[in-house]
Amino acid sequence: MKQRNNSIDIFRYVCALMVVAIHAHPFCELGVNADFFFSTLLPRIAVPFFFAASGYFYIKKLESGAERCFSQYLKRIVTTYALWSVIYFIFTFCKGGYSVLKWFAVSSVYNFFVKGSYYHFWFFPALIISVCLITVFYKMNLKKLLLPVSMLLYIIGCIGCAYHKIGVQIPLLRVLYESEYFTIIRRIFMMGFPFFACGKLIDILEKKLNKSGKAKIFAFVAVTVVIWLAEIFAVQKRNLSANIIITFGLYPMLISVFLLLLRYPLPNCSKIASIFRTSANFTFYSHPIILELIKMIYVHAVSREINSVFLYSVTVILTFAASFALQKLNNRFLNKFIQ
């Protein structure tokens, strides 16, 4: 059995902490610039990294001819998604005070399959559809089209986000970008699918760069980070963007970081990586409900708004402690919440 890449597992936890920062804004008290950097700019790599890591390992299994990898992988992610969805649906119902159960049920079913059962769970429909699409590409022997198609979709997505002011000048694209469904389309087909598919490109580049000097990998990371930051500065300076969720520079920057982690797998850090792998999953899945509960309890007890640094810190501590406890329990059913 091939040893896990500990660097990737550890970085997944870092990405999970970034996702929490997106929703908790821990540095907003330090000013607009600090809040923008830590809650809007830096975390842009987080969810794309989750997709890329999933895609990298899934595509490698597909290419190795592993039997039942599609059904096993799909069953695992659907099970986890369904279990957490039940929790969030109950939480949403209790918090929202829905008077008509029928409409709540209808919206819940729609959200589960299309939008995501909670605001951060758009990740799961996008992941499930990406897995299905990539499997179809491979089963129909169309894998040569995988990267071109996914990159084209990513480019269209980038124009609609970072270059929105230009994109809406193109008639066909304007219809897409001004559609009420663009966010859903972008998340699934212009983020989830391209970043999942880029696992294939990472695999190709990894093989080509295996004999390259380590300095080249670090240089690649440095150059792509500079390009990414420069692009964001430029589109915001010229007021071109609707948002910076995806940009052209993010794609190569993500790949360069992933290649760096592959080059340095940290084989002696298996124990801590195992803890962080579990914590990454649980933190990502549970943090919105933890954030909400902490705010509710704090406001009720103190009668004033909670400090964002305190909110972020307590959320991180609680999610880590809970995930560690679940890992130690090693219960077959409870493990489904952290897989």
pLDDT digits (tens, 9 = 90+) for 80-124: 999 999 999 999 988 876 666 778 888 899 999 999 999 999 999
The answer on pLDDT for 300 being more than 90 is no
Cα separation, 298 vs 305, whole angstroms: 8
pLDDT in tens, 202-245: 999 998 887 777 788 999 999 999 999 999 999 999 999 999 99
Q: What pLDDT, on a 0 to 100 scale, did the predictor assign at position 98? A: 63
58-72, 104-118, 304-318: least confidently modelled range: 58-72
Residues 6+ apart with CB under 8 A from 252: 224, 227, 228
Look-up: residue for tokens 């970072």?
Answer: 162
Question: For 282, left (φ over 0), alpha (ψ -120 to 50), or beta?
Answer: alpha
Q: What pLDDT, on a 0 to 100 scale, did the predictor assign at position 214? A: 78
Look-up: residue for tokens 């890591």?
Answer: 53
Helices (H), the chain: 6-24, 32-36, 46-64, 69-96, 101-110, 123-139, 146-161, 164-167, 171-177, 182-185, 193-209, 214-237, 250-263, 270-302, 308-329
Q: What pLDDT, on a 0 to 100 scale, did the predictor assign at position 84? A: 98
The answer on pLDDT for 68 being more than 90 is no
Instruction: Quote the mean pLDDT of the chain.
Output: 94
Task: Provide DSSP, 212-235.
Answer: S-HHHHHHHHHHHHHHHHHHHHHH
CA neighbor of 272 nearest in space, from 4, 3, 9: 9
Q: Angle 243-7-320 (CA atoms, 0-180°, nearest 5)?
A: 75
| % of the chain surpassing 90 pLDDT | 83
CA neighbor of 146 nearest in space, from 156, 136, 160: 136
User: 319 exposed, middle or buried (CB, 10 Å; 0-12, 13-18, 19+)?
Assistant: buried
Cα separation, 319 vs 233, whole angstroms: 34
| Residue 330 DSSP label | -
Cα separation, 284 vs 295, whole angstroms: 18
CA neighbor of 45 nearest in space, from 238, 281, 224, 267: 224
CB distance 186 to 160 below 8 Å: yes
Q: What pLDDT, on a 0 to 100 scale, did the predictor assign at position 1? A: 46
Q: Is the pTM of this model over 0.75?
A: yes
The answer on pLDDT for 195 being more than 70 is yes
CA neighbor of 77 nearest in space, from 183, 192, 186: 192
Bigger pLDDT: 59 or 1? 59
Question: For 239, left (φ over 0), alpha (ψ -120 to 50), or beta?
Answer: left
Cα separation, 107 vs 85, whole angstroms: 13
Cα separation, 280 vs 11, whole angstroms: 9
Distances (CA, A) of 17 to 3, 104, 130, 223, 276: 25, 31, 24, 25, 11
Q: Domain limits of the chain?
A: 1-47+275-339
